[in-house]
Amino acid sequence: MAANYPKIGIRPTIDGRRRGVRESLETQTMGMAERVAAFLQQNLFYPDGSQVECVIADTTIGGVKEAAAAARKFSAAGVGVSITATPCWCYGSETMDMDAGIPHAVWGFNGTERPGAVYLAAVLSAYAQKGIPAFGIYGEDVQESGSEEIPADVQAKLLQFAKSALAVALMKGKSYLSMGSVSMGIAGSIVNEQFFQEYLGMRNEYVDMSEFVRRLEEGIYDKAEFERALAWVKANCKVGADNNPPHLQISDQAKEEQWETCVKMTLIARDLMIGNPELAALGFEEEANGHNAIAGGFQGQRHWTDHFPNGDFMETILNSSFDWNGTRAPYIVATENDSLNGVTMLFNYLLTNTAQIFADVRTFWSPAAVERVTGHKLQDEAAGGLLHLINSGSAALDGTGEQNADGKPAIKPFWEISGAEADACLAQTQFRPASQEYFRGGGFSTDYLTKGGMPVTMARLNLVKGVGPVLQLVEGYTVDLPEEVHKTLDERTDPTWPTTWFAPKLTGKGSFQSVYDVMNNWGANHGAISYGHIGADLITLASILRIPVSMHNVEESRIFRPRVWSLFGTEELEGADYRACRNFGPLY
């Protein structure tokens, strides 16, 4: 599988002058490249859990002929990210990587014997002049010329760049699959092809929801897997209480039939996204191919859900890190075909390899309102108030927080999740008969409460006429509330849906003076919630794609953007980001 993923190309550049200069630097320069490759391969993983692969140029690069040879090797090997490493002066425009369609970084060794920093400044100037933004990596402390260490600050920047750049490369050439069209007038489900193609390098694929009906009626799914899946569901998915009034409740037999439909919908949606060779054996060779989708969305409401079971179970299971086949990578599926939240989920996922929570940014609960309604006084991270994140039941089961890292609640890459942890996520989840008020066709909504104490980042991509895409993000923590307090607040909305109580980190500035300001400045009704404080990585990723960030609470010391961004201003970084993104335009 790893051979199909984009690789990281490592370019050791060198002073091209012979008769003693280049010869004295060969071992040191190639050694830098080899150490960078080894470091990245040990610390980065593809979505299937395999180690990231690096490709090193066959020789050090002292001039344009060797640069061209490296470019040919990288192209043949499927390189999607370029990192240049050097301890010395090199001929900038002759040795630089000129591929404008992939992300670039340059590490200039901080040592006084040879001017690696001088080359770094020169080549970054050339990148800026040629309109190819590149990241500059320069260690804070001077190293000895013979040092084989990659300093901690250099390691951090290598990882931050490489994770973000790989996310960009992994999206390129893939598809976003719209299963249905626009849901209830939600702007994010008005799919903008220009954004996907020009900013992400992705295709847009579309199927009408009637394709689900065709596949259900004609049996276009793996029957053996269906039986296995249905048995797993019956054994592991607890059905919760039915909150519908008695005259709207359905029989147990009808619920059994709806479960069968929900499981088949899950298989069909997955097959539509990535294909399934088993379908070819059934005589459906075209359907077996799928749509090469790295993400997708299901319209559902209302054309589907007024008549058929809703998509909540389907979306929950596909977004989770496990199912009847065991642990596996999540499929990114956006509720209500909100493609912009789907893309944000995809960004988060590719940076972390972890499942995502899709939620409405439903309510701001001020400390005063919580105390008035429940008598409880919010404290610690929640002292400034809470955001109630809740949607109709499509959040990944991983969002329960029942996985464990160093004794604390976590959401982990699928290859680190134990069977016991997957079971615990299921044990803390109920599948509630869907509210007939919203879903006349029935179905089952996912109901759980996210454990408190997890560092998380909520993000959202928005499109603005005249500006283009804009990213927002906020780091914070999930919060535990006393059971009765949670119940009182939760039952004011639909209690059959998954709840995450979220406390943003406040900075006292801009949109982060208060939790109310965060809510009041959020750009849409949905958010994508990822485990970990990944705001810095999201900012780096956005800069590669030329997407400005309109609000964030990430410390300035963690922000890493292409060096040329500083030429658009260093005092007011948000404005400089907008100007740089507008100047260079979308990556593709």
Helix (H) or strand (E) holding 20: none
- Does residue 260 carry a catalytic annotation? no
Residue type, 112: T
8 Å CB contact between 171 and 346: yes
In the three-class reduction of DSSP (H, G, I as helix; E, B as strand; rest coil), residue 495 is classed as coil
Eight-class DSSP state of 61: B
Q: Two tokens at 486? A: 């949670």
Q: Two tokens at 374? A: 């429940």
In the three-class reduction of DSSP (H, G, I as helix; E, B as strand; rest coil), residue 410 is classed as strand
8 Å CB contact between 9 and 15: no
**Rounded to whole angstroms, how far apart are CA atoms 285 and 551?**
47
Of the residues 360, 416, 480, 574, only one is catalytic, namely 360
Tell which residue, 463, 475, 348, 468, has the closest CA to residue 413: 348
- Does residue 360 carry a catalytic annotation? yes
Whole-angstrom CA distances from 188 to 157, 237, 463 are 33, 31, 8
- The C-alpha torsion from 315 through 320 and 323 to 325, rounded to 10°, is 120
Q: Which residues, in sequence order, are bridge partners of residue 8?
A: 54, 81
Size of the chain, expressed as the number of residues it contains: 588
Residue type, 355: A
Q: Two tokens at 558? A: 């963690």
Q: Which residues, in sequence order, are bridge partners of residue 359?
A: 527
Neighbours of 391 (CB within 10 A): 27
Of the residues 222, 271, 336, 447, only one is catalytic, namely 336
Helix, strand, coil share (%) of the chain residues, nearest 5: 40, 20, 40
Binding residues for Mn(2+): 336, 360, 526
| Alpha helices, DSSP H, located in 137-205 | 152-171, 193-195
Tokens 């002066």 sit at which residue? 89
Catalytic residues: 336, 360
